[in-house]
Amino acid sequence: MDNKLIKSFIAGIIGTTVMSFIMYVAPMMGIPKMNPPAMLAGMMGMPITVGWLMHFVIGIIFAAFYVFLFAPKIKIKSKLLKGAAFGFIVFLFAQIAMAMMGALIGGIPEPEGAMIGVVLGGILGHVVFGIFVALSVKS
């Protein structure tokens, strides 16, 4: 198996795990509750276990994009900044993907709390994801 595939898998698991922890503690910091696995499962009428599986698979896929495409092309020396930039791009992509999925299936679940808090929490979670993916990938 290609070493880059292994790096992608491990980085995706680490990044998604840390992001999931941020989702869990976010309400304790005043950020609205976020639960992408529940949103994914609910949109498809599937059990929450399927939502969690999808959440981690998506994280691994994004980590592969980082390893194969983003990291080699983007000339930011700091892994922290490179990961943060990648995480923000992932956040933007996630918003577009959720809107497209919502259009296809007739809507997405309403987020809990003020929209600005949801957006800022989403950015925070994805930036943390990107940072941990970048730090997990050994160059």
The yes-or-no verdict on residue 134 having pLDDT over 70 is yes
Instruction: Give 56 or 139, the one with higher predicted confidence.
Output: 56
71-107: pLDDT as tens digits: 999 999 999 999 999 999 999 998 888 778 777 776 6
pLDDT over threshold 60, residue 7: yes
Domain ranges of the chain: 3-136
- What sign does the CA torsion over 136, 83, 115, 94 have? negative
pLDDT-above-70 percentage for the chain: 91
Entry pTM:
0.88
pLDDT at 51: 93
